[in-house]
A = this chain, B = another copy of it.
Amino acid sequence: MRRCDWNALDEQARAALLRRPAQRAGEEVSRAVAAIVERVRAEGDDAVRALGLRFDGIAPAALEVPEAEFEAAEAALPASLRAAIDEARERIAAFHRAGMSAPYALDTAEGVRCERILRPIARVGLYVPAGSAPLPSTALMLGVPAQLAGCPQVVLCTPPRRDGSADPAVLYAARRCGIARVFRIGGAQAIAAMAFGTASVPKCDKLFGPGNAYVTEAKRQVALLEDGAAIDMPAGPSEVLVIADAGASPAFVAADLLSQAEHGPDSQALLVSDSRALIEAVAERIEEQLARLPRAEIARQALRSSRLIEVDSIGQALEVSNRYAPEHLILALRDARAWLPRVQAAGSVFLGDWAAEALGDYCSGTNHVLPTAGAARAVGGLNVASFQIAITVQEVQPNGLREIGPCAVELASAEGLHAHREAVALRLREVGA
């Protein structure tokens, strides 16, 4: 891992230090995905099966998971795992429910009632990856808010296993979120199938969930097409920034950096500290822990773009963090809460020594689908509102028209929009104003 002293760097070197590994899919991925998207749009299920055979080596004849497979999945799952999924679901649901918006109404003038009402998005599509391992936790993070929003049609796609079945833990988690329909489809073809619809897969209005470079590029492409679908956010490789002081536990900090690094070779883990001793101790612990890690090779690759950054003060560490805008921010500080007001941009924040980032990934209650690649400067993570449409409403009585109509007439005149002015003026004449 590269170590450096922030205050020894000039502006250009600082910018280079905080640059993410390249995000955008290369031209080759982009072209390949465009071909997949076009083919699924034109040929539907046949294309989905042919592409599954080519990329996953398997294409279940029935793309949709049959009822019997759900039952078998539940029976096959260890009781401890079922209990953990149930427990995580409860806390995720509790936190997300507490954050739901309510509709509201306000009389902005006498006789003018303005409102905001909420509707679930009618048709949503969830993608749950299963690359090196299946991710039942992601099924919960997508399924719980969709269920709370009350989306009438929720479908989920997840890649088939070698034997053509879907992962039992993902199926169990999906059912606990009330998801009736799961399809054994992975990759860009799953995204295209949900965006355009096929004979088996219903068309969706908005697509959610993380994925590899192909899935992410497919989401980007269908979001740009007129008959495509909206998407939650462009999800890039995962990242963490840890701010630790001299009192932090080097072993905990090392473990948090490594749990980010094991996600994939393009994950990024940054440590920012005002203590050189802590930085050195963390570097040592990383080597020790790495030796015991099954996914050590992946982690080692990710650690190449990781950084150990020494700063003057914790205040300066916060400046570095706000500039980077990390997906996950750990404040391993003696007075972590006191520093929270200084956090300007981050996806999710972990306060103190006991809040391992992995707790947020699974079961603290917050969502783990979060903005990456600096997107935290402008957007937040997934929540129930991501599955809802906010619609404004205005109801105007004749007295309300008399009250606010002249203002509209004046502004429409200034903007040279005569039909706008007339639509109001005509009504004003009718009510004798």
- Residue positions of A touching B, CB distance < 8 A: 20, 22-24, 80-81, 83-85, 87-88, 91, 94-95, 98-99, 101, 104, 106, 108-109, 112, 114, 116-117, 119, 121-122, 132-137, 169, 205-206, 220, 224, 226, 229-230, 249, 251-252, 255-256, 258-259, 261-263, 289, 292-295, 299, 336-337, 340, 343-367, 373, 375-381, 383, 385, 389-398, 400-401, 404-408, 410-412, 414-424, 426-427, 430-431
Contacts and interface: CB of A to CB of B under 8 A. Distances in A.
Given A24-B226, A354-B396, A355-B395, 16 more contacts: A81-B414, A98-B106, A108-B365, A112-B364, A119-B344, A133-B415, A134-B414, A258-B423, A294-B418, A295-B417, A348-B391, A348-B394, A349-B394, A362-B411, A363-B407, A380-B392
A295 B419 contact: yes
A402 to B, nearest CB: 10
Contact of A376 (B23, B351, B389): B389
A420 B112 contact: no
A67 B394 CA distance: 38
14 contacts: A85-B411, A94-B106, A119-B343, A119-B344, A258-B423, A259-B422, A345-B389, A348-B394, A351-B396, A354-B397, A355-B396, A358-B423, A364-B394, A366-B392
Contacts of A255: 419, 422-423, 426
Contacts of A362: 407-408, 411-412, 420
B91 A108 contact: yes
B106 A400 contact: no
Q: DSSP class of A's interface residues: helix, strand, loop or mixed? A: mixed
A408 B363 CA distance: 6
B356 A427 contact: yes
A389 B91 CA distance: 23
